[in-house]
Amino acid sequence: MIDFAGLRFKNPFVVASGPVTASIDLIKRAEKARASAVSTKLTLPKVPFRCQLRPYSLPGFGTITPMDRRLEEKEGLELVRKAKRATSLIIFANISAPKSSLEDWQKLAKEFEEAGVDIIEANFSCPNIGLSRELLNNTAKDELTSGAAIQQVPMLAKKVTRLLKESVKIPVVCKLSAAAEDLGEVAEACEDGGADGISIYGGSVGLPPPDIYDEARPLYPLLEGASFGGLTGPQTKFSTYRLVAQVARRVKIPIVASGGIGNSRDAIEMMMWGATLVSACTSIMWYGFEVVEEITRGIENFLKEQNYSSCKDLVGKALQYLTSSERLKLIEGYADVDRDKCDGCGICLKPGHCQAIELQAKKAFVDPTRCLGCGICVALCPREAIELRST
């Protein structure tokens, strides 16, 4: 059991808002795969233009999504009612109010509370539509630039959060992304506005490659033209760690983090950088709900194996090491080759900056006086024959 925003979760995994939470059958699958919660697909008072799921996908690396089908108010509310009736999951309602006044946020949140949702996830960060630009007097200078505007202005994020908190009794979590100028600052503003938690979308925004053999047509499936799209999946994992640590340092409220989680190890690492709950979308889109099962069981097994009494002990454990670059303490050392394991393949001779390694009698030999201690040969060696030693 893990506490988040005053609610008790049976484990730390939430299926992130997206195509994998857009219907009751998928939400039932999430429960079967042992998720503790789901965040329903983004619901808007009115869907502004017709969309279908059109991701450029490179499984194992990332996905760029310029559009996905959003839910209309009625649909979203009905989905929540069904999910509350048919499952015992904790349900987050992912909502936003584009091109409209603050009252729309209020109305939507109240309606979802009445429908029985457990948590409002206020989407201040959707990378795909220019949500709520009007609230900023349409300040976008670049017509190609999209993305929810609220998180760009901490005071506005605070104002909308406060309004939502005054409108509903259930917890309010604000979903933010790297597109915010200073994520720590906007997270603090949400906390000041009364937010019960911060949800982090760790991805960023990208463009797919043009097809170099077909008139440079961008490689989105079944789309004419290209727009910037939400960049998600494994290649965003390390920048998500950074965002989570940054926000964890700045606020006291808990974090639910998504961005590149594909297995239990990723999830545990995310918790160690400060996430209380972990969440994923892209890996489930590629590999199915088995991913959820592996993550939840994997975390459970890890806790037992490593003698942690609960998930709580993992949260923020790595933050004690976080410092600025100039304060890092350098350890002198060099790469050391186990000549019994080395088969002389020569991969460790490749690094362009290295002048310390050569083959002697068909085995790698490192000159410790020339070794920079960068560790790249250690990472490259397929036989795990190299280790770093401190001097």
What residues line the site for ligand FMN (CB under 6 A)? 16-19, 41-42, 53, 55, 63, 65, 68, 94, 123, 175, 201, 203, 230, 232-233, 236, 258-261, 280-283
Residues 6 or more apart whose Cβ sits within 8 Å of residue 228: 66, 127, 144, 145, 146, 205, 206, 207
Q: Give the ranges where the chain is alpha helix by DSSP (H).
A: 24-32, 73-86, 102-115, 154-167, 183-192, 237-250, 264-272, 282-287, 290-305, 376-380
How far is C-alpha 108 from the geometric centre of its chain's CA atoms? 25
Q: Which two tokens stand for residue 204?
A: 């960023």
Q: How far is the CB of 20 from ligand FMN (least distance, A)?
A: 8
Q: Which two tokens stand for residue 168?
A: 């509903």
CB-wise, 9 or 201, nearer to ligand FMN? Answer: 201
CB-wise, 65 or 132, nearer to ligand FMN? Answer: 65
Q: How far is the CB of 123 from ligand FMN (least distance, A)?
A: 5
CB-wise, 94 or 276, nearer to ligand FMN? Answer: 94
CB-wise, 52 or 101, nearer to ligand FMN? Answer: 52
CB-wise, 40 or 100, nearer to ligand FMN? Answer: 40
Q: How far is the CB of 143 from ligand FMN (least distance, A)?
A: 23
First-residue to last-residue Cα distance in the chain:
44
Q: How far is the CB of 260 from ligand FMN (least distance, A)?
A: 5
Q: How far is the CB of 365 from ligand FMN (least distance, A)?
A: 42
Q: How far is the CB of 279 from ligand FMN (least distance, A)?
A: 7
CB-wise, 193 or 260, nearer to ligand FMN? Answer: 260
Cα separations in angstroms, 69 against 58, 210, 227, 230, 368: 21, 24, 16, 14, 58
Please state the length of the chain: 391
Cα separations in angstroms, 134 against 50, 139, 282: 21, 8, 30
Place of tokens 């186990």: 338
Q: How far is the CB of 127 from ligand FMN (least distance, A)?
A: 8
CB-wise, 89 or 281, nearer to ligand FMN? Answer: 281
Q: How far is the CB of 92 from ligand FMN (least distance, A)?
A: 9
CB-wise, 200 or 357, nearer to ligand FMN? Answer: 200
> In terms of Cα–Cα distance, which of 206, 210, 209 is closest to 229?
206
Which run of H or of E encompasses 44? strand 37-44
> In terms of Cα–Cα distance, which of 2, 319, 315, 5 is closest to 190?
5
